[in-house]
Structures are given as C-alpha cells and as structure tokens.
Amino acid sequence: MAATSATSATSFSIGSKISFGPKASQLLLPKPSVVRFNSQKPLATFSGLKATGSMNCESESSFLGKESYAALQNSSSPRSVKSTGRTQYHLNPQASYKVAILGAAGGIGQPLALLVKMSPLVSSLNLYDIANVKGVAADLSHCNTPAQVSDFTGPSELADCLKGVNVVVIPAGVPRKPGMTRDDLFNINASIVKTLVEAVADNCPEAFIHVISNPVNSTVPIAAEVLKQKGVYDPKKLFGVTTLDVVRANTFVAQKKNLRLIDVDVPVIGGHAGITILPLLSKTKPSVCFTDEEIHELTVRIQNAGTEVVEAKAGAGSATLSMAYAAARFVESSLRALDGDGDVYECAYVQSDVADLPFFASRIKLGKKGVEALISSDLQGLTEYEQKAVEALKAELKSSIEKGVGFAQKQSVAAA
Amino acid sequence: MQPTSCSSEPNQRIARIAAHLNPPNTQMGESSGPARWNCRAKGGSSGFKVAILGAAGGIGQPLAMLMKMNPLVSVLHLYDVVNTHGVTADISHMDTGAVVRGFLGQQQLEDAVTGVDVVIIPAGVPRKPGMTRDDLFNINAGIVKTLCEAIAKCSPQAIVNIISNPVNSTVPIAAEVFKKAGTYDPRRVLGVTMLDVVRANTFVGEVMGLDPREVDCPVVGGHAGVTILPLLSQVKPPCSFTQKEIDYLTDRIQNGGTEVVEAKAGTGSATLSMAYAAVKFADACLRGLRGDAGVVECAYVSSQVTELPFFASKVRLGRAGVEEIYPLGPLNEYERAGLEKAKKELAESIQKGVSFVRK
C-alpha cells in the first residue's frame, strides 16, 4: 500500500490503490485513532434501547442517530415480555463490537451492511465477498458513524475478516427465482455455507453465527456439523435467522386487525420454509380474536410471503431490503445481549429440545453466551389448528435437517 | 426571489397554531396498484407522505428501506420505470408504520406524486470511472425535467429533494420547469448536498480522532469537484488543522464521490452512503414540516449569499421549506480562493441547466 504522505499534499492521488478508512489517518500524522465519545451526553448520542416515549420533538440529534434507529430498536424490544424482573440496562457508550458480514456485496449484504454500519454498538464492520466488496466498503466508509469498515475479497482474505469478530452474519449465496423452492438452492448454497463456517471455526469459534443463506432449515445443520468436525461447536451460538417471518407476521396481523404495528408481536416457530413456518397467532400480543378463516389466510400468507416477493420481483431476486432489516434487528439484539441486556428475546432456528427434532425455531432468550433459554412454552397451549400444523411441518423439517447433516458428513468423509 | 426569513418567535407560534388547526392531510386514497401492495396498518397515520422517484435504483432501494423505517413517514410512494412491484412487495413486509404503495411506469407518475409532502428524486444514471457528474447531464436532465413537470401539475406544494446529478444543473432545471408551470416556490426546491457534509464529518473525525457523529463541518458551494467547499475553519468542535491536513481534507471531500466510483470499478457510484445522507436530509425536511425549531442543514438552493442564483449553504428548514438562508460566515484566505474557483464552475453549470429548459 503506497504511502504518499510527506511531500506534496496536492499530489495526493485519489485514484490510486490506497484503500481509505482507518489507514488514511496514518498517512498524515499520528492522531490517536481511538474514537473519543463525548461524555457530556452519553445516552443522548445513542439511540434509546426501548425508545418508546422518548422521541423528543425538539431534538436536534440526527434522524439516524436516534429516531429511525429507534424504529429498529422498537421492533426488537421484547414486546411480548412485559415488566416483572426486567433488569435495568443502560447502553454503555464504551461498548463496541465487531461484526463480520460474509456475502456483503450481495442483494441482502449491502443494505444489511448499511444498517449495521449505522448501529452505535459496532466498532468494526468487516465485509467479505468474492467480488465487488471494495466498492461497497469505500461507499459505506463515508457514513459518519463510529464503525470502522474493512473489506476482504476472496478466500485468501477470509481468515483476516473473521479474526476477533463477535458476530458473523452469513447472507452469502444465490437467491430464488420464480417457481423455485428454497430447497432448490441447496446444492450451491450448502457448499458456500460449509466453506464459510469452516473459516469461522478456524478464526472466531467464540462468535455468534447468524445463518441467513437458504435453505436455512438445512444450512444450519450443515453449519453445526462443520463446527462439530472442527471440535468447536457451541449450540448456544448458532442461529438460523427467522426474524423476517416474525416481521412479516407482525405486519400482516396489524394490517388485518387494524392494530398499531408498534404493539404487535407474533411468535413464529418451526423452520424457515413454506409450511415449516408456523406463526402462533393464538399467542399474538396484544391478544386478538381471529376467525378460523383469518387464521388460515394469515398463516398461508406468512408462509408464502417469501414467494410473494420472489414472484413480484419476476426473476430479479428475492427479498433483500426486508431481509436486511430483519437481519439487522437480530444483529442488534445479539449485540445488546452480548452487552449485558437481560431482556432480549427473539425467535430463531437453533439446536433445540422443545420438539422432537434436533433443530427447531422458537422464541429464545439471548444472553452473553448466546442462547440462554429456549421458550418451550411456545409449544404448549396451542390451538387445534396450530397443533395440526406442528405435526404437519415436522416431516418436512426432519428431512431438511437430515439432508443438511448428510451433506456435511458426506463432505467430511470425502475429505478424509 | 429571496426566501422570507421567518425566524421571529411570534411567527413560529402562529405557524404552530395554524398547523394544529389544519393538520397535514393524512387521507389515504385508493391505491392504483394491486391490492396486495396496498398495506394498511393503522395507528401510524399521523405523519407525512413521501414519494421516491427512482425507487428501484441503486440509491432508491436502500433509501426506500430507510424511509420505511422513519416514524415521521405515514405513506411512502415508490415510483420507477422498472421493477417497482418487486421493491414495493419487499419493503411492504417491514413491520413499521409507513404504508407503502408502488407505481410503475410513466403512466403512473402523476398518481405517485399526488398529495405528497416531500418528493425525493434519486432517478438517473450513475457515473462510471473517468466520468464527471456533468457527463451525466444529457440523460439526467431529461429525466429530472419530466419528473418535475408531473410535480408541478400534481403536487406543487411538495418539498422537492433533488439527488440526480449533476445537482449543480438539475436544481436550476427543476426551478425553470416550475417557473414555466407558474408553481415555482424557491423555498421548496433543494439540491441534496448532505453527502458532502457526511463525508466532511467522517474525514475530519478520522483525522482528528473524534466521533464522526459529533463533528459538524459546513460544506458550501455546489455538489461537484471544486464547487464543493468545506469550511474547515468553521468546524464544530473547533479544530485547528495544519495546512497539509486542510489540503488533504479539502481534496478528499471534493473527490469523495470519485473515490467510490473508482472503488466500484464500473459497477456504480455511491449508493448506500448516498441513501444514508439523503434520508438524514429528508428527515430534517420532515422535522421542519412538523414545526421543529432550529432544523439547520446544508443544501443547494436558490440563494443570494453570492451573486450566483443558486448556492449551497446552511439553511433553516421549516413548514415552508427553506425559511432562512445563513450567510457563509468568516472565510479564511484558503477558503476565499476556493470560493472564487467554485463560483466560476458553478456559474457555468447553472447556465447549462437553465438553457436546457429554456431552449
């Protein structure tokens, strides 16, 4: 990397191969690279955790520092778990975490990277892809938020991308085209996830791993097998991201029942494909009455919402922006949990014993070590419709899990 | 026409009372798109209507995602000539209050802009390596003209945020179109230069070891190369820079856009940071519309702070759009020299835009 500092500042070449960002300051003078936080107003600088009533009309703080990020915060605050025993948590302005996004130049990766770059909890954002990630990083690095952006291109740089990272998000892979199921992506995406998780195992085995790459029902078991083979598997830290199903459920229920979106929280269990997605409408907060017809219509719509977007995009891709939004919410929840917030609940697809399947999505409590508790009560007190749906989804989920495990074990045998 | 300065307290109080008696129209008419994209989640209905023209593009998509997340937005119209249905379906699933509607193709343009409070225009083609923003003129000038004609017809009261490059020319183009239609209000047409401010804040923060969110560097002039004038002598918190730092920072801020075009090696120009900056600015416009006091941002507007008809400087945003334009303040020698250079190029760009409409 050229160091064209000293002599003539006017010949400072922008078009050269120098990558900007934190390294740029080294070209000039040794200013401290530590980001100093203004201690006069620690909490005002950061978006509030539960930003419910706190939006000050006269506030001069920037939209993105407070209000819109509050929208993300609001959506991830545990609306379903009220008061009792809520520990006091104040965002510690000194806390800062490292997040890596594998597949950062893709349709999901780019808007996801933008949202994570905007998070006040992130100090380093490492972006990896097989192409085009330099441009994405240069773009994002201009945003005036504290997270330092670095880019890593290709397998030779993957290890460096992952060193010391707290949360790894994996949106890498190909999206569906009209007519395809998530399972049709299996062949390509399974290998991608396997390779990436091997690198995670080698370089940041303690990190939380968020798998977005479809079919999640299979890629999470693949990841688990890879981590086991490397001897670093921690089931509390491996998550299939199903947040988008929750987001969709909230949106469709609020629409249908004319509710304020900010109040609505629908748990979604099972898996992340078609009928394996089971919204527990009977457990919606606030409690609502649905007719049988509404239940069926909403359930089907939530289950097929991904396909709805694939069709609407007519070959141009699958959900990217809403996926980025949902994934960013889950990242934010993970970072708060890592930071000591004792009140973080999300739905996620994890290794589980709540149903008689090795992996199952349900509500979980997140803590510093990852999954702190599985909310097994999600599978109790179900309506007849929901009970039937649980039984119906088990067969498909089981075979998806086995397909993933089989793939990973076959690969391991072939490599031996 | 000099925008009226409404900085007096009684005017503000009257404005607030008037707004209370005549709240912004939040009626949601029937969507022209298929029912499934007319998503109605009630309860978030007090807010503003925003239209994004060019919503399926590289800037438009992340911009639409972020605006959907903004609690001040009650209705979000997404317009483009291709792909709008997909983007709308995607964004409509996000569980935030704004109701999203998609509009596809020029025949739906008028519906897209009818009744909106703010129109954001990122539409157009981006630069490739080696191009200046001016090279985009031929295509983007026509696009902006067409879009503004629809705005003049259907929502002449809207506040227009123009992102399409070259902003130095497309804002004068917009003004001429509105003048021709007899709807021109110079307080409501703003060229978005926020990304220059964002870049300035970031680069100053890097050099000085400050939290970039705490830095406030005014950037005046225009939105291309040497017309971008960071006033480093006026940075908050006050910093003293060496000459080398001033040269580095000025150069980098002026060429920030080119930096990204080069890094993207032909695949585009700044999209994510542009969306981020555009949303920051649109949000400021919305807070001004809401009646918040002291909403001040840099923007490229019809102005008398120099002898040029358009110039970017700090402006105070309110219910009428631009309510006050602040003078440049004290400039040092370096900045005065930069100002002369900027004005020369800016004068030409403005003339080019004006001529395009008048010919």
Q: Report residue A192 as tokens.
A: 């991608």
pLDDT 10s digits, B58-82? 999 999 999 999 999 999 999 999 9
pLDDT for the residue numbered A4: 36
Q: Is there a contact between A116 and A145 (Cβ–Cβ < 8 Å)?
A: no
Kindly state the average pLDDT of the residues B265-288.
Answer: 97
Q: Tell me how far apart the alpha carbons of residues A144 and B215 are, in angstroms, rounded to a whole number.
A: 9
pLDDT band at A91 (very low <50, low <70, confident <90, very high): low
**Which chain A residues are closer than 8 Å to B263 by Cβ?**
134-135, 137-139
CB contact under 8 A, B69 and A68: yes
Interfacial A residues in 289-348 facing B (CB < 8 Å)? 305, 308-309, 312-314, 316-317, 319-322, 324-326
Answer whether the bond into residue B23 is a cis peptide, omega within 30°: no
pLDDT at A75: 52
Distance between CA A305 and CA A299 in Å, rounded? Answer: 10
Is the per-residue pLDDT at B56 higher than 80? yes
CA distance B103 to B79: 5
Segment A359-388 mean pLDDT: 97
Q: Which ipTM was obtained for this model?
A: 0.87
CB B246 within 8 A of CB B333: no
The string of pLDDT tens digits covering residues B135-156 is 889 899 999 999 999 999 999 9
Q: For residues A183 and A400, what is the distance between their CA atoms, to the nearest angstrom?
A: 8
Judge: A36–B211 Cβ closer than 8 Å, yes or no: yes
State the average pLDDT for chain B: 90
Q: Do A251 and B198 touch (CB under 8 A)?
A: no
Active site residue A272: yes
- Interface contact B207-A28, CB threshold 8 A: yes
B172 touches chain A (CB under 8 A): no
Q: Which of B96, B208, B292 is facing A261, going by the closest CB pair?
A: B96
Q: Do A45 and B213 touch (CB under 8 A)?
A: yes
Average pLDDT of A350-355?
96
Q: Which residue has the higher pLDDT, B268 or A30?
A: B268
- State percent of chain B over pLDDT 90: 83
| Number of inter-chain CB pairs under 8 A, A vs B | 255
Token output for B25: 């129209």
Instruction: Name which of A12-21, B188-197, B307-316 the model is least confident about.
Output: A12-21
Which candidate, B5, B71, B73, places its Cα nearest to that of B303? B5
* Interatomic CA distance for residues A218 and A403, integer angstroms: 7
Tokens of A65: 């520092």
Counts for chain A of helices (H) and strands (E), in that order: 11, 11
Residues of A (40-69) whose Cβ lies below 8 Å from B = 45, 55, 57-60, 62-65, 67-68
Looking at residue B230, its amino acid is P
**Mutating which of A112, A127, A142 best tests the B interface, going by the most B Cβ atoms within 10 A?**
A142
Residue with tokens 């072939």: A414
Under the banding of pLDDT at 50, 70 and 90, the label for residue A74 is: low
Residue A35 pLDDT more than 80? no
Instruction: Tell me if B247 and A25 make a contact (CB, 8 A cut-off).
Output: no
- Min Cα separation A414/chain B (Å): 39
Candidate from B66, B258, B292 with C-beta closest to A58: B292
Residue A29 CB coordination number (10 Å): 11
Is the CB of residue B20 less than 8 Å away from at least one CB of chain A? no
Per-residue pLDDT at A245 exceeds 80: yes
Q: How far apart are CA A378 and CA B8, in angstroms?
A: 58
Q: What is the largest CA-CA distance in chain A?
A: 77
CB proximity under 8 Å: A 120-149 to B: 132, 134-146
Tell me which residue of A398, A362, A397 sits closest to A280, measured CA to CA.
Answer: A362
Determine whether the interchain pair B263/A70 forms a contact, defined as Cβ–Cβ distance below 8 Å: no
pLDDT reported for residue B13: 52
User: Cα Rg for chain B, rounded, in angstroms?
Assistant: 20
User: Is 50 exceeded by the pLDDT of residue A42?
Assistant: no
Which of A90, A210, A272, A296 is labelled catalytic? A272
Please name the member of B41, B43, B95 whose beta carbon is closest to the beta carbon of A75. B95
